[in-house]
Amino acid sequence: MKIKQVLILVLIFAMLPAGFAFAHRVIIFAWVEDGMIYTESSFGSKRKAKDCVITVIDEKGLLIHKGQTDQEGNYSFKIPEKVDSDLILKLDAGTGHQAQWRISKNELVTDHSENDIQVAKDIQAAMKEKEKLEESPFIFKIVGGIGIIFMLALAVKFFKRKIS
């Protein structure tokens, strides 16, 4: 009997760290280069979002383009013609797991010959934003959430005791 108990304990504890390693949130990152829009999609910083649907809409919500990420979580397409609006790229990685990225209409101008430095700066800024997203303090949110749950439970108990 004891061996069985130990085995169950080991199984539970062995699953915990492995589980947390998979914890993630979905991210989409996009940039404009040489007349193309490139996207990278991932779950956190490590796992690529494979075969996920990317929908491109304009500011009014009209569908402009639709595609699917490859095995590396990448997807690229030509800048759509006759679009005079910011583009919103939505990534759907399953029910409830969505992310989006906005590309302003100024970035969509294909003639960058005079603005190469500005474009490089934009890409650099976008890269920094991507890194920031990936390094979000996930563990603090988990601990904070659990703390809130316990505080609520204690508050409810205190409130109930006061009433009775």
Partner 1 sequence: MHIAEGVLSGPVLASGAVLAMAGTAIGLKKIDYDRIVHVAILASAFFVASLIHVNVGPASVHLILNGIVGLLLGFAAIPAILTALFLQSVFFQYGGLTALGVNVVVMAAPAVLVHYLFLPLLGKSSTLTFVAGFLSGLLSILCSSLLLGLSLWFTDKNFFETSLVIITAHIPVMIIEGIITGFCVSFLLKVYPEIIPVKKK
**Which positions touch partner 1 (CB under 8 A)?**
5, 8-9, 11-12, 15, 19-20, 22-25, 43, 47, 50-51, 93-98, 141-142, 144-146, 148-150, 152-154, 156-157, 160-161
* Phi (first) and psi of residue 116, to 5 degrees: -55, -40
Q: Are residues 127 and 136 in contact, defined by beta-carbon separation less than 8 angstroms?
A: no
Q: Are residues 74 and 40 in contact, defined by beta-carbon separation less than 8 angstroms?
A: yes
CB of 138 to partner 1, least distance (A): 8
Rounded distance between C-alpha atoms, residue 83 and residue 48, angstroms: 29
The smaller minimum CB distance to partner 1, of residues 15 and 109, is found at 15
CB of 145 to partner 1, least distance (A): 4
Neighbours of 4 (CB within 10 A): 8
CB of 29 to partner 1, least distance (A): 16
CB of 134 to partner 1, least distance (A): 14
Helix H, strand E, coil C: the string for 9-37 is HHHHHHHHHHHHHHCCCEEEEEEEECCEE
The smaller minimum CB distance to partner 1, of residues 25 and 65, is found at 25
The smaller minimum CB distance to partner 1, of residues 95 and 113, is found at 95
